[in-house]
């Protein structure tokens, strides 16, 4: 049975030979991430983690953003973040409104999730009586729940990395396990950098993106590691770096076909699914590319340098 191949002939790219260029590129991405997060004062956390209310509304006729902000401030709803939403065939004159929980508690009375939403709707209805306001969606999260979600998100990523390390170390080799986890942190940091540079909100949807990138990256790394293990069992007169490089090239066609297939699906969602999925597909597209890059350059390169510095008994 003939396997579908992206290349007409077996590729022979010098991935391992150029690993130090890849290291420099990764370091540049890390620096860009750190600088961006520092300049933005940290990630722009969504209401999932900070607590507050986020809602999307639209008017029947156009309303300037400054007038909308003034109306909310005059109505006793200060410190409001307003973002104009791009018009579509279905919804026009839409805005995203984000505000903290401004309702005060009286005694043991709990803040009702709908109170902020109704208050904003009332204020806008009074300020624009001849311009119908429609609430398309709203989300309210308390500050305590937001902190708990933030803590759980961190634990989800860390536990996932530990479990991957255990699996890869048991299934293949401890060195591959460590390199795979390093690559995962590499992919997570780069994706966070993309979210920061583009000034996107970091919310539960972003956590789903990170976990998806982790899953894709480790899957690709396992394919390469499995081929390396098969080639190590054969009697070859290659050096360790040459064997690793050949293994990467042997799985490269599969890697390219997979990434192109997934990329086209995500691109279709990004272009045609609208704003609802945009904040999910955009960083996931970037994470897909970075995950593919790390499985080719980062994981195997780290294993090669580790092997050259401290050879194992299997390969001298």
Residues 6+ apart with CB under 8 A from 33: 189, 190, 192, 193, 196, 197
Pair 193, 37: CB distance under 8 Å:
yes
Alpha carbon distance 116, 168 (integer Å):
48
Claim to verify: residue 157 and residue 92 sit in the same structural domain: no
* Residue 97 included in any domain: yes
* Residue 2 included in any domain: no
Claim to verify: residue 176 and residue 136 sit in the same structural domain: no
- Would you state the pLDDT for residue 43? 86
Claim to verify: residue 253 and residue 305 sit in the same structural domain: yes
What CATH number does residue 68 fall under?
A: 3.30.70.3220
3-state secondary structure of 108: coil
Claim to verify: residue 42 and residue 102 sit in the same structural domain: no
* Residue 67 included in any domain: yes
Domain end call among 115, 141, 167: 141
Burial of 292 from C-beta contacts in 10 A (0-12 / 13-18 / 19+)? buried
Q: Domain limits at 284?
A: 19-46+145-309
Claim to verify: residue 299 and residue 193 sit in the same structural domain: yes
Domain end call among 94, 118, 141: 141
* Residue 315 included in any domain: no
Claim to verify: residue 230 and residue 197 sit in the same structural domain: yes
Claim to verify: residue 76 and residue 172 sit in the same structural domain: no
Alpha carbon distance 215, 224 (integer Å):
15
* 0.85 exceeded by pTM: no
Claim to verify: residue 170 and residue 72 sit in the same structural domain: no
DSSP E strands in 166-312: the ranges are 201-202
- Would you state the pLDDT for residue 221? 85
Neighbours of 31 (CB within 10 A): 11
- Would you state the pLDDT for residue 8? 56
* Residue 4 included in any domain: no
3-state secondary structure of 58: strand
* Residue 8 included in any domain: no
- Would you state the pLDDT for residue 29? 94
Question: In total, how many domains does the chain have?
Answer: 2
Claim to verify: residue 127 and residue 168 sit in the same structural domain: no
* Residue 36 included in any domain: yes
At 197-222, the pLDDT tens digits run: 998 888 888 888 988 898 888 888 88
* Residue 60 included in any domain: yes
Claim to verify: residue 101 and residue 150 sit in the same structural domain: no
Claim to verify: residue 113 and residue 230 sit in the same structural domain: no
Domain end call among 125, 141, 157: 141
Burial of 146 from C-beta contacts in 10 A (0-12 / 13-18 / 19+)? buried
Claim to verify: residue 87 and residue 202 sit in the same structural domain: no
Q: Which residues pair with 83 in a beta bridge?
A: 96
What CATH number does residue 240 fall under?
A: 1.20.1640.10
At 288-299, the pLDDT tens digits run: 999 999 988 998
Q: Which residues of the chain carry a pLDDT beneath 50?
A: 1-3, 102-111, 113, 315-316
Alpha carbon distance 179, 172 (integer Å):
12
């Amino acid at each position: 049975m003939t396997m579908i191949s992206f290349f007409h002939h077996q590729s022979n790219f010098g991935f391992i030979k150029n690993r130090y260029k890849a290291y420099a590129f990764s370091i540049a991405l890390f620096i860009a991430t750190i600088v961006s997060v520092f300049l933005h004062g940290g990630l722009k956390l969504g209401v999932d983690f900070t607590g507050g209310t986020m809602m999307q509304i639209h008017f029947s006729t156009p309303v300037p953003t400054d007038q909308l902000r003034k109306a909310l401030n005059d109505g006793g709803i200060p410190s409001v973040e307003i973002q104009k939403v791009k018009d579509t065939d279905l919804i026009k004159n839409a805005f995203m409104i984000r505000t903290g929980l401004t309702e005060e508690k009286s005694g043991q009375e709990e803040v009702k999730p709908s109170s902020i939403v109704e208050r904003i709707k009332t204020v806008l209805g009074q300020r624009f009586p001849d311009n119908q306001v429609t609430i398309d969606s709203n989300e309210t999260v308390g500050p305590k729940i937001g902190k708990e979600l933030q803590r759980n998100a961190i634990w989800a990523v860390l536990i996932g990395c530990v479990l991957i390390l255990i699996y890869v170390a048991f299934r293949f080799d401890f060195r591959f396990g460590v390199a795979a986890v390093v690559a995962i942190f590499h992919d997570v940091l780069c994706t966070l950098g993309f979210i920061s540079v583009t000034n996107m909100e970091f919310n539960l949807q972003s956590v789903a993106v990170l976990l998806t990138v982790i899953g894709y990256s480790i899957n690709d790394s396992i394919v390469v590691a499995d081929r390396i293990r098969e080639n190590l069992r054969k009697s070859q007169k290659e050096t360790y770096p040459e064997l690793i490089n050949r293994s990467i090239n042997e799985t490269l066609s599969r890697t390219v076909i997979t990434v192109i297939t997934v990329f086209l699906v995500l691109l279709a969602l990004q272009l045609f699914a609208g704003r609802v999925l945009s904040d999910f597909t955009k960083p996931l597209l970037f994470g897909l590319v970075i995950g593919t890059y790390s499985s080719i350059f980062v994981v195997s390169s780290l294993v090669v340098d580790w092997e050259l510095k401290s050879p194992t008994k299997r390969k001298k």
